[in-house]
Amino acid sequence: MHALHQVLHLFFNLQSFTKNVPDVWAGFQINIKMMVVAEGLVLVFALTLAIVRGLPGPAAKPLRALAIAYTDFFRGTPIIIVALFIGFGLPGLQLGYISNLSIVTYGIIVLTLVYTAYVTEVYRAGIESVHPSQRAAGRSLGLTYMQSMRYVVVPQAVRRVIPPLLNDFVGLQKDTALVSVIGVGEAAYQAQAGSTNSTDFVPYLIAACFFILITIPLARFTDHLVAQRERRERAQAF
Amino acid sequence: MSASAGGNGTAFVHVRGVSKWFGSLQVLNRIDLDVQEHNVVCLIGASGSGKSTLLRCLNLLERVEEGEIVVDGQPLTNGKVDVNALRKKIGIVFQAYNLFPHMTVIQNVSLAPRKALGVSRHEAEERAHVLLRRIGLEEKADEFPDRLSGGQQQRVAIVRALAMEPKLMLLDEITSALDPQLVSDVLNLVRELAQSGMTMILATHEMGFAREVADNVCFLDGGSILEEGKPEQIFTEPREPRTREFLSRVLEAGRMA
DSSP letter string over A108-172?
A: HHHHHHHHHHHHHHHHHHHHHHS-HHHHHHHHHTT--HHHHIIIIIHHHHHHHHHHHHHHHHHHH
Report which residue type is found at B59.
N
In this predicted structure, what is the pLDDT of residue A1? Answer: 66
Report the alpha-carbon distance of residue B46 to residue B205 in Å, rounded: 8
Cα–chain-centroid distance for residue A166?
A: 9
Residue A58: Cβ within 10 Å count: 7
Q: Specify the amino acid at residue A202.
A: V
pLDDT at B165: 95
pLDDT single digits (tens) B45-74: 998 899 999 999 999 999 898 999 999 999
Q: According to the model, what pLDDT value does residue B8 have?
A: 45
Within 8 A of B85 by CB-CB distance, chain A residues are 142
Count residue pairs from A and B with Cβ separation < 8 A: 60
Please check the confidence at residue A130 and state whether its pLDDT lies above 60. Answer: yes
- Region A196-212: what's the mean pLDDT? 91
Reduce the DSSP state of residue B71 to 3 states and report it.
Answer: strand
Q: Is A187 helix (H, G, I), strand (E, B) or coil?
A: helix
Does residue A29 belong to the interface with chain B, where contact is any CB pair within 8 Å? no
A32-79 pLDDT, tens digit each: 999 999 999 999 999 999 999 999 989 999 999 999 999 999 999 999
Predicted model pTM: 0.86
Q: How far is CA A44 from the centre of its chain?
A: 12
Is the pLDDT confidence value at A15 over 90? no
**A141–B85 C-beta distance less than 8 A:** no
pLDDT value at residue B7: 43
pLDDT computed for residue A199 by the predictor: 85
Interface test with B, best of A130, A134, A139, A140 (most B CBs within 10 A): A140
More confident residue, A101 or B108: B108
Cβ proximity of B98 and B91 under 8 Å: no
pLDDT band, very low/low/confident/very high, at A98 (cuts 50, 70, 90): confident
Q: How many CB atoms lie under 10 A from the CB of residue A2?
A: 6
Contact assignment for A142 to B98 by CB distance below 8 Å = no
Note whether B100 contacts A236, CB cutoff 8 Å.
no
Contact A202, A8 (CB under 8 A): no
pLDDT of amino acid B27: 94
- CB < 8 Å to A159, chain B: 102
Question: Using 50, 70 and 90 to split pLDDT, how confident is the model at A7?
Answer: confident
Return the residue of A nearest to B161 by Cα: A141
Q: How far apart are CA B80 and CA B68, in angstroms?
A: 13
* E strand or H helix that includes residue A207: helix A202-237
Find the CB nearest A139 among B87, B102, B161: B87
- Chain B CB contacts of A149 under 8 Å are none
Q: Using CB atoms, which residue from B61, B111, B146 is nearest to A136?
A: B61
Chain B residue nearest residue A136, CA to CA: B61
Pairing between β-strand B13-22 and β-strand B66-71 as defined by DSSP bridges = antiparallel
Q: In what order do the strands lie in the sheet with B25-35?
A: B25-35, B13-22, B66-71, B74-75
CA dist., res. A180 & res. A177, Å (int)? 6
Q: Looking at residues A123-146, what average pLDDT do you find?
A: 95
- Which neighbouring-strand residues pair with B90? B168
A196 Cβ partners below 8 Å, 6+ apart? none
What percent of chain A is modeled with pLDDT above 90? 69
Mean pLDDT of A167-182: 93
Report the C-alpha gap between A125 and A46 in whole angstroms.
12
B46 close to A (CB below 8 A): no
Separation between Cα atoms, residue B77 and residue B18, nearest integer Å: 10
Dist CA A56 CA A135 (whole Å): 13
Q: What span, in angstroms and rounded, lies between the C-alpha atoms of A17 and A229?
A: 42
Average pLDDT over residues A105-118: 96
pLDDT at residue A236, as a whole number: 56
Please compute, for residue A148, the number of CA atoms within 13 A of its CA located in the half-sphere on the CB side: 20
Distance from CA of A206 to the nearest CA of B (A): 44
Q: Which residues of chain B have pLDDT under 70?
A: 1-9, 254-257
Structure-model confidence comparison of residues A4 and A139, the more confident one: A139
**Mean pLDDT along residues A202-215:** 93
Which one of A133, A151, A236 has the shortest CB-CB distance to B115?
A151
Alpha-carbon distance of B245 to B240, in angstroms, equals 9
With DSSP H G I counted as helix, E B as strand and the rest as coil, what are the percentages for chain A, rounded to 5? 90, 0, 10
Give the per-residue pLDDT at B255.
57
pLDDT for residue A196 is more than 60: yes
Contacts of B208 (CB under 8 A, 6+ apart): B255, B256, B257
Element (H, E) at B114: helix B105-117
* A236 CB within 8 Å of a chain B CB: yes
pLDDT score of A227 more than 90? no
